[in-house]
Amino acid sequence: MAGADTAPFLSQADDTDDRPVPGTAGLPSSLGNTKSEHPEVPDREGLQRITGLSAGRSALIVAVLCYINLLNYMDRFTVAGVLPDIEQFFDIGDSSSGLIQTVFISSYMVLAPVFGYLGDRYNRKYLMCGGIAFWSLVTLGSSFIPRERFWLLLLTRGLVGVGEASYSTIAPTLIADLFVADQRSRMLSVFYFAIPVGSGLGYIAGSKVKDMAGDWHWALRVTPGLGVVAVLLLFLVVREPPRGAVERHSDSPPLTPTSWWADLRALARNPSFILSSLGFTAVAFVTGSLALWAPAFLLRSRVVLGETPPCLPGDSCSSSDSLIFGLITCLTGVLGVGLGVEISRRLRRTNPRADPLVCAAGLLGSAPFLFLALACARGSIVATYIFIFVGETLLSMNWAIVADILLYVVIPTRRSTAEAFQIVLSHLLGDAGSPYLIGLISDRLRRAWPPSFLSEFRALQFSLMLCAFVGALGGAAFLGTAMVIEGDRRRAQLHVQGLLHEAGPDDRIVVPQRGRSTRVPVSSVLI
């Protein structure tokens, strides 16, 4: 498709034609056996004809999206890698430190529905380009804030949410429109590898750049330059496929977007979407709390054990814990995401509920290990790191699977909106408030005890134990998802293939009932 990138800026949803391609090779012309769990899917040649993109170009697009996802999470956790220095520079306590992450997540959460709405209706590539360019400028500006302007740091961290919201709600839907079935699951696993790896690199880059430059401000100046490269790659490499075309049959009509309120009503009636989003909310709560507070907790543990001198006002906080925790986050992320996808893929052959069951096992299994990591911190830092490694590996099994669940229980024209509202829900009840809540509980406990380094350690230790309880609740939500997921997945497949239509408010017929005529929904009548 030679004119793929010549569409007017933000004038239409896709760069490519959204009509079904007649006679597409590898694409079945009829549904076949409607009782099969997985309908036939296009082969490689069929995908190329539908999307207008070669297999190599599609893989390159995913690579660019992975790079940007890695960069987003690297920037998010650079702040956590230098948090003790930020506390010393601005002279703030635990609750104010937790507010840095809470403000960012709150902004990200509020803006996600806006970009979800735009992403389902306008050119996704240009939306991402604008958002990431703005994010890069704001991040660079946040590194020049003077010590008496802590409120300005909070403001800039809030504005960073614009870039993340423009990307996180849209990028997975591009992958969904390039691949199907097991190919999609594999590509999503690659995409979500970037979350733990980027998070770990954020800790590493933050601590090492600060050590090399002798100033924590330079840690915030690394990602903006890489952000410029990301915008150029997006503009030059990425091309949009037509929405939902890879999941349609050649004789099926193209899907058309419905109103925003209709999308919300449909998502609210989708129990698999709601329950899996609640489960993912627990994942966000736990990871958000650990991401900000684990390095500080490990530093306080070493101080209590006498392995590290305390961090005093005016001094640079010297500790290897941010670097070690960053490496653990990278390794456990790669191991956990890959393990979760592979276990789910194998179990799916015999159990159609494999995806939510693997997610439930990951969360329920991580809770006791995270509790043991906290409980052992005063006795052995090595044991703490071992339990953190196992707990984070189990926790990371969820990332790619949750995204895959959303993509196959929600129809293509609602996926950006669904991504956006999953982000809102998971952050509103998850990591938007969890860092601040943990810091607030820690501050309250410290005030109740005599001031000492031990009381600082114990206060943060007890407040972080809340994560284990929340993780168990998330596991229960995924068990609930397993009970309803088969029906929701089948309904989405039939809708995409044009064999099922949603009933509107006027889609009612008259049925006699006890001598009177009663209007009932069409869907409730068996013919």
Kindly report the pTM of this predicted structure. Answer: 0.66
| Percentage with pLDDT > 90 across the chain | 15
Mean pLDDT of 154-168: 82
Q: Is 371 helix (H, G, I), strand (E, B) or coil?
A: helix
pLDDT of res. 47: 63
Which has more pLDDT, 288 or 390? 390
Mean pLDDT of 180-208: 78
Asked if residues 402 and 280 have their Cβ atoms less than 8 Å apart, the reply is yes
Give, for 382, the enclosing helix (H) or strand (E): helix 381-396
Rounded CA separation 419/406 (Å) = 8
Mean pLDDT of 304-317: 69
pLDDT of res. 378: 84
Query: Is 509's pLDDT higher than 50?
Result: no
Rounded CA separation 374/256 (Å) = 51
Asked if residues 107 and 162 have their Cβ atoms less than 8 Å apart, the reply is yes
Query: Is 196's pLDDT higher than 90?
Result: no
| Percentage with pLDDT > 70 across the chain | 80
DSSP codes, 474-514: HHHHHHHHHHHHHHHHHHHHHHHTTS-----TT-EEEEEET
pLDDT of res. 502: 61
Structure tokens at 145: 């804030």
Q: What are phi and psi of 477, to 5 degrees?
A: -65, -40
pLDDT of res. 241: 76
How far from 415 is each of 113, 118, 206, 266, 307, CA to CA, in Å?
11, 11, 34, 12, 50
Query: Is 25's pLDDT higher than 50?
Result: no
Mean pLDDT of 283-301: 86
**pLDDT tens digits, one per residue of 471-480:** 999 999 999 9
Mean pLDDT of 187-215: 79
Query: Is 10's pLDDT higher than 80?
Result: no
Give, for 267, the enclosing helix (H) or strand (E): helix 260-268
Mean pLDDT of 227-235: 89
Q: How confident is the model at residue 244 (pLDDT cuts 50, 70, 90)?
A: low
pLDDT of res. 43: 56
**pLDDT tens digits, one per residue of 55-68:** 778 888 888 998 88
Helices 83-90 and 150-168, interaxial angle, to 10°? 150
Query: Is 344's pLDDT higher than 80?
Result: yes
Mean pLDDT of 191-197: 78
Structure tokens at 303: 């101080």
What do you get for the CA distance between the two ends of the chain, in Å?
45
Characterize the bridge pairing of strands 508-513 and 516-521: antiparallel
| Least confident interval from 18-27, 441-450, 514-523 | 18-27
Q: How confident is the model at residue 314 (pLDDT cuts 50, 70, 90)?
A: low
Where is mean pLDDT largest: 150-159, 239-248, 255-264, 503-512? 150-159
Rounded CA separation 115/100 (Å) = 23
- Tell me whether residue 307 is exposed, middle or buried, using C-beta atoms within 10 angstroms of its C-beta: 0 to 12, 13 to 18, 19 or more: exposed
Looking at every residue in the chain, the average pLDDT score rounds to 78
Asked if residues 431 and 280 have their Cβ atoms less than 8 Å apart, the reply is no
